[in-house]
Structure 1
Amino acid sequence: MTISCVLFDLGGVIINWHNRWFIEEISQQFNLKQEELNQQFNANLKDISTGVIAEKEFWQRIGEQLKSEELRDTQESLLDKVFRKHMSFNDKMFELSKNLEKNGITVGTLSNTEHVTYSVVEDLSSLNHFKHKFLSYKIGHLKPEPQIYEHVIENIPFQKEELFFIDDLKSNVESAKKSGIDAVQYTDFDKLLEQCKNRDLV
C-alpha cells in the first residue's frame, strides 16, 4: 500500500537534543551531583511526559529527593531556559518534512515530550505543516508503549499500512512495527533518504 502519511519523532530526528544537557546545566546551577540528578530526573520523566504532573511539581519532587530546597522551591522554568539555550533544528530533516508536504504527503509528529519544551519548539519555528501532532503529554502514554501507537491508528484518517514512522530509538521503531506501522530508525540523513526513495516518497 502507498505511504500517505509520514510521522517524525522530534528529539533526535527533527530536533538536535540530549537530556544530558539538562543534567549538566541544572547540576551546575544547583550544585548537585550529576549522577544523582540524572537518576531522579529519569525517575520522574514519565509523569511529566504523560501530563500527570507539571514542571513545578517535577522539580519539587526532584528537589525533595535530593534534599535541595533551592531546586524544590524554584519558580524559574528550568526546562524552558535550558532547552531554549541548547536545542537546534536538524535542518535537513526539517526541510525533508516540508518537501514531503509540498509533494502531497501528509506529515506529522509522534513524540515523547512535555508541554514546556514543546512550546519552545512551536515558539522557535512554525510546525504548521505538521497536520497531525501526537504528543505524549496529551495522550498519556509514552513510546514504546503499544497504547500510543494504538492511539495514533485510531485518531488518524489513514490505514496503518499507509503510515511511515521515523524515530531515533530502535525500541520505538520495533514497537511501531509490532503495531503494524512501517517504521525505520534514523541514524543518518543519507540512509534515511534512501529508505524514503525505496518507498517512493522522494
Structure 2
Amino acid sequence: MRPSVDGEVLELVDELRTSDFATAILTNGTDEVPYELHSQGIAPHFDHIFNSAEIGVAKPEPEVFDFVLRVLDLPADSVFFADDSASKLTGAHTRGIHTHHFRDIAGLRRALRDVNVI
C-alpha cells in the first residue's frame, strides 16, 4: 500500500516548519518506507523520518518514543505527536508527549492551538 497524505496536512507541516518547528514522521513501516515517501513527494516536507523497521521497536511501545526523543534531543513536553490510530498514542502519552488522535485537519489545528503551537 502506497502512503498518502492529505494536502491540508502537508500545508500545515510546511506552515510549522516556516515557524521554526521541526517536523517528523514516525511510522510502523517496512524497509520500503523511505522510497515510498520520496517517490510521492512527502519526505521533503519533514525534517526527520523515523521508521520502526529501522529502529527495531514499534508504536505504541514507549521505547520507540524514547528513541525519537534521544535523536531529536528534545524534552517530551516540547513534542507533539498525532496519529490516526488512538491505540498508537499510548506510549507517547506515558512519556509526557502531547498527543492527538487525528481525525481531520480542523481537529489537528485545534489540538496544536491548545498546546500553543499555532
Q: Tell whether the structures are fold-level matches, with TM greater than 0.5.
A: yes
- Unpaired runs of 5+ residues, structure 1, are 1-82
Partner of 1:49: none
The Cα of 1:128 is off from its aligned counterpart by 2.6
* 1:182 and 2:110 aligned: no
Partner of 1:121: 37
Partner of 1:165: 81
Of structures 1 and 2, the one scoring higher in RCO (CA 8 A, sep 6+) is: 1
The Cα of 1:200 is off from its aligned counterpart by 2.2
Inter-partner Cα distance in structure 1 for 2:114 and 2:55: 31
TM-score with structure 1 length normalisation? 0.54
Q: Deviations over 1:123-179 (max 9, x none)?
A: 120523422221111101111112111111222121111111011111111221002
Percent of aligned pairs with the same amino acid: 25
Choose which of 13, 36, 39 in structure 2 pairs with 1:97. Answer: 13
Partner of 2:27: 111
TM-score with structure 2 length normalisation? 0.89
Moved over 4 A (4+): none
Larger gyration radius, structure 1 or structure 2: 1
Inter-partner Cα distance in structure 2 for 1:154 and 1:95: 27
The Cα of 1:193 is off from its aligned counterpart by 1.0
Partner of 1:132: 48
The Cα of 1:117 is off from its aligned counterpart by 4.1
Count of aligned positions: 118
Q: Deviations over 1:76-118 (max 9, x none)?
A: xxxxxxx34xx53211111111110011111111111112244
Inter-partner Cα distance in structure 1 for 2:4 and 2:77: 32
Contact 2:29 2:53 in 1 (8 A): yes
Secondary structure in 1 matching 2:93: helix
- Unpaired runs of 5+ residues, structure 2, are none
Say what the alpha-carbon RMSD is for the aligned residues: 1.6
